[in-house]
């Protein structure tokens, strides 16, 4: 495969378009939404009109006919100014709509994808549970056949895009039986919102991502038609593992965007802030911090683009996705800390973007698989698991 990760003219045009949108539309308004913990419907609507939610989907399903790289480029550029909107896009596409494209029937695609691609509706993916995070094999939510219906019971935690006014669908991972060895047979089911028996808890009070919508979901004898099974029964585990591999690339792009945004803000501040008669950017100590921040963001970008290019080429990319997720999330946390330090007392004030970035960064080492899980995956791909 080629090691040239320079963008095509089409991808570069998209990147520049989203970059301009992020700085002209998102950046001036997002601070107010963030302080109010409010979901930015108006901005999401504009993102939908731009076609961002439909970037990697075929035109026949209402998409833009682009690819996964295009989606990640958009996510990175948005994350340079705000992570809440970036993860709204990432989760809405990678976890919300993509399962339907990959595993759904033609009828399911026709029913759901046009509105999801237009950003008129959001879909959520219900995987994590109160007692089951990285150990997806420990799911307790169940779905039992009753005639021509599935009956779902259980609870899901930390579900993004699950309680907005435009949320129309939740894909739920549930145990639908047991294999001969007792292992759970996991399937995924499409649950429209609202559906009787589905309860959406109040939003979480979070450290960061304050404009992102996150709720706990409870399912009490929720009934959906048998036709709402997504893909083959018992294949849900394999389905969401493949989606999580791709999602790690998208989250890596988000983390890279946050790291780059920290550098952007710090460069501006270092040039404008005068201390002891000169800009603080004239001090070598600050220059070295900025140089390191640039180097970290650059290598994180190369990592996620490498994983994305392998994925698009149909090559194995599991290890590269885990490396990108591990490295970029560490880079985001480090750059956010350094940006806050450069800003001094102002970095502790929420009116400055770096304060939001500092609060938003930590979750990147947790969501879509913790840093420890990424190391486990990398070690497994190195063949070390066979030694145990």
Catalytic residues: 368
The 3-state secondary structure of the chain, one letter per residue = CCCCCCCCHHHHHHHHHHHHHHHHHHHHHHHHHHHHCCCCHHHHHHHHHCCHHHCCCCHHHCCCCCCHHHHHHHHHHHHCCCHHHHHHHHHHHHHHHHHHHHHCCHHHHHHHHHHHHCCCCEEEEECCECCECCCHHHCCCEEEEECCEEEEEEEEEEEECCCCCCEEEEEEEEEEEECCCCCEEEEEEEEECCCCCEEECCCCCCCCCCCCCEEEEEEEEEEEEHHHEECCCCCHHHHHHHHHHHHHHHHHHHHHHHHHHHHHHHHHHHHHCEECCEEHHHCHHHHHHHHHHHHHHHHHHHHHHHHHHHHHCCCCCHHHHHHHHHHHHHHHHHHHHHHHHHHHHHHHCCCCHHHHHHHHHHHHHCCCCCHHHHHHHHHHHCCHHHHC
């Amino acid at each position: 495969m080629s090691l040239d990760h320079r963008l095509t003219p089409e991808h570069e045009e998209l990147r520049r378009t989203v970059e301009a949108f992020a700085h002209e539309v998102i950046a001036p308004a997002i601070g107010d939404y963030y302080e109010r913990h409010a979901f930015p419907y108006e901005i999401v609507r504009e993102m939908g009109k731009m076609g961002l939610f439909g970037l990697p989907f075929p035109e026949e399903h209402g998409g833009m006919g682009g690819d996964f790289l295009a989606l990640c480029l958009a996510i990175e550029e948005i994350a340079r100014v705000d992570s809440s909107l970036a993860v709204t896009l990432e989760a809405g596409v990678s976890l919300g709509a993509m399962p339907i494209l990959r595993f759904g029937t033609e009828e399911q695609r026709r029913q759901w994808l046009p509105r999801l691609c237009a950003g008129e509706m959001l879909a959520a993916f219900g995987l994590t549970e109160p007692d089951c995070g990285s150990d997806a094999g420990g799911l307790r939510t169940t779905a039992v056949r009753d005639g021509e219906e599935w009956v779902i019971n259980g609870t899901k935690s930390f579900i993004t895009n699950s309680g907005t006014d435009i949320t129309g669908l939740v894909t739920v991972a549930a145990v639908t039986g047991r294999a001969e060895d007792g292992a759970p047979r996991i399937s995924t089911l499409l649950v429209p919102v609202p559906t009787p028996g589905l309860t959406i808890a109040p939003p979480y009070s979070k450290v960061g991502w304050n404009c992102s919508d996150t709720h706990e979901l409870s399912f009490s004898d929720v009934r959906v038609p048998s036709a709402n099974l997504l893909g083959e029964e018992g294949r849900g585990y394999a389905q969401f593992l493949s989606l999580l591999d791709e999602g790690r690339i998208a989250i890596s792009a988000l983390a890279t965007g946050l790291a780059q945004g920290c550098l952007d803000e710090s460069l501006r501040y270092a040039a404008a802030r005068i201390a002891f008669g000169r800009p603080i950017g004239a001090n070598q100590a600050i220059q070295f911090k900025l140089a390191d921040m640039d180097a970290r963001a650059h290598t994180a970008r190369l990592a996620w683009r490498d994983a994305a290019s392998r994925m698009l080429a149909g090559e194995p990319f599991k290890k590269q996705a885990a490396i990108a997720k591990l490295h970029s999330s560490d880079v985001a946390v480090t750059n956010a800390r350094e940006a806050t330090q450069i800003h001094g007392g102002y970095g502790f004030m929420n009116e400055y973007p770096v304060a939001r970035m500092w609060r938003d960064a930590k979750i990147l080492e947790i969501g879509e698989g913790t840093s420890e899980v990424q190391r486990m995956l990398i070690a497994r791909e190195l063949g070390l698991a066979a030694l145990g």
